[in-house]
Amino acid sequence: MNAPHHARGVLAAWFAYGIWGLFPLYFNALVPTGALEILSHRIAWTFVLCVVVLLLRRELLGLLRQLRGRLAVGVTIAALVIAINWLVYVYAVLAGRTNEAALGYFLNPIVTVALGVLVLGEGLRRLQWAAVAIGAVAAVYLTIVGGGLPWVSLVLALSFGTYGLTKKRLGTSLPALHSLSAETIVLLLPALGIIGWLTSKGESTFTIDAPWHPLLLIAAGAVTAVPLLLFAEAARHIPLVTIGLIQFITPVLQLVVAVTLLDETVSTSRWVGFAIVWIALGFLTVDSVRTARRQRRQQPDEVESLEPVEPT
């Protein structure tokens, strides 16, 4: 393995997951804009940025020609699911429930493994079964002590797991930039419709505190695209097992930001729930590392393990 390329890949992964982990600070800075308006601007300005880049690279027409048949259906499903994920995540931050969002992203690898069994019919190894079982115990425990389903955590984990599953079914049909561009194309008209509706009702916040608030909303395009491109760079140069371990930076940072900077209170019972989930992740991580080592011995040039996690 080329050492400079490996170091570059690790650095890119740290920056990508680090940026995603600090997203709560960015969304909190957009108050008083609501979750639906933030989502719409995030889609619109990401679309603008992606189209500009694709035009400069002369790749836009090629992408549009590809969006047909099975690929178009898959992209549409992925777009709708990631829109739900983005909306619930922003809502959680604005509602002071960032710690619940962090729990959702801790649960995500467990949900991904479970979806592999339920949807793809994949077999599980013993440690993976243990991780899924412990994750289920955590969900039941949090439901009981919380007096109801931890819906924010579950929706985020399930929506992002479904997004990853959809992307897996699509395979390598589209590189990262093209994939994000295609998804924002699908979501653009609804996003513009929401922005127009809010503006017509006098409820749009785009022009308040000019120029800083409008600039922060416009920056949503770069905030969305940059970590994704860093992730793509990391995936080119380092094994997936390494990316899979680095991915936990995101929910850890989210939790730290929630408790230390956003003044969220996490109850003792919720900390116990986090601990149960971390035990499950421990089993999953050990299994992933063991599997990667075994594959490295058997096929030195092909190391596949933990599925990398893409952006919130």
* Helix/strand/coil (H/E/C) assignment for every residue in 12-47: HHHHHHHHHHCHHHHHHCCCCCCHHHHHHHHHHHHH
Q: What is the pLDDT of residue 4?
A: 78
Q: What is the pLDDT of residue 168?
A: 80
Do the Cβ atoms of 203 and 40 come closer than 8 Å?
no
Task: Specify if 156 maps to a domain.
Answer: yes
Which strand (E) or helix (H) includes residue 78? helix 69-94
Q: What are phi and psi of 135, to 5 degrees?
A: -60, -40
Those residues with Cβ within 8 angstroms of residue 206's Cβ, 6 or more apart along the chain or in another chain: 37, 41, 195, 199, 213, 214, 217
Task: Specify if 308 maps to a domain.
Answer: no
Do the Cβ atoms of 194 and 40 come closer than 8 Å?
yes
Q: What is the pLDDT of residue 303?
A: 43
Q: What is the pLDDT of residue 305?
A: 44
Residues 185-195: pLDDT tens digits?
A: 999 999 999 99
Task: Specify if 306 maps to a domain.
Answer: no
The whole-angstrom separation of Cα 249 and Cα 246 is 6
Range of the domain at 122: 3-298
Q: What is the pLDDT of residue 121?
A: 83
Task: Specify if 65 maps to a domain.
Answer: yes
Q: What is the pLDDT of residue 304?
A: 46
Taking alpha carbons only, the member of 283, 294, 286 closest to residue 134 is 283
Q: What is the pLDDT of residue 302?
A: 45
Taking alpha carbons only, the member of 98, 21, 18 closest to residue 263 is 98
Q: What is the pLDDT of residue 190?
A: 97
| Overall domain count for the chain | 1
Do the Cβ atoms of 11 and 235 come closer than 8 Å?
no
Do the Cβ atoms of 66 and 174 come closer than 8 Å?
yes
Task: Specify if 95 maps to a domain.
Answer: yes
Residues 220-272: pLDDT tens digits?
A: 999 999 998 898 888 788 877 788 888 899 999 999 999 999 999 999 999 99
The whole-angstrom separation of Cα 312 and Cα 309 is 9
Q: What are phi and psi of 268, to 5 degrees?
A: -60, -40
Task: Specify if 215 maps to a domain.
Answer: yes
The whole-angstrom separation of Cα 130 and Cα 98 is 27
Low-confidence ranges of the chain (pLDDT < 50): 302-306
How many Cβ atoms are within 10 Å of 4's Cβ, its own excluded? 8
Task: Specify if 94 maps to a domain.
Answer: yes
Task: Specify if 202 maps to a domain.
Answer: yes
Q: What is the pLDDT of residue 46?
A: 96
Q: What is the pLDDT of residue 310?
A: 60
